[in-house]
Amino acid sequence: MKHQAFLPHHGNKLFACYTGLETELVYRRGFNLPGFAAYPLLTTPSDKLLLGDYYNRLIQLARELGVGCILDSVSWTANRDRAAALGITVEQLKQFNIEAIEFIAGIKRQNPDVPIVLSAQVGPRDDGYAPSHLMNEHQAFDYHSEQIAVSASTEVDLISAFTICYPEEAIGIVKAAKKYTMPVAVAFTLETDGRLPTGMSLQEAIVMVDAQTDSAALYYLINCAHPSHFSHILDGGAWMQRLRGLVVNASCCSHQTLEQATELDEGNPAALGKQVAELHRSYPQLNILGGCCGTDMRHMKSIFEAVKARD
Residues tagged in the binding site annotation for Zn(2+): 224, 292-293
Contact 79, 62 (CB under 8 A): no
Burial class (CB within 10 angstroms; exposed 0-12, middle 13-18, buried 19+) of 1? middle
Of 276, 272, 292, 293, nearest to 284 (Cα)? Answer: 276
Contact 285, 272 (CB under 8 A): no
End-to-end CA distance of the chain: 36
- Cα–Cα distance, 248 to 89 (Å, whole number): 33
Question: Following DSSP, what letter does each residue of 203-249 receive, concatenated?
Answer: HHHHHHHHHHHTS-SSEEEEESS-HHHHGGG----GGGGGEEEEEE-
- Cα–Cα distance, 174 to 97 (Å, whole number): 18
Contact 224, 247 (CB under 8 A): yes
- Cα–Cα distance, 289 to 14 (Å, whole number): 7
**Longest alpha-carbon distance in the chain:** 50
Which DSSP helix (H) or strand (E) runs through 103?
A: helix 90-109
Q: How many CB atoms lie within 10 A of CB 33?
A: 17
- Cα–Cα distance, 94 to 166 (Å, whole number): 26
Of 123, 293, 145, 127, nearest to 198 (Cα)? Answer: 127
Which residues make up each annotated binding site? 224, 292-293
- Cα–Cα distance, 161 to 219 (Å, whole number): 11
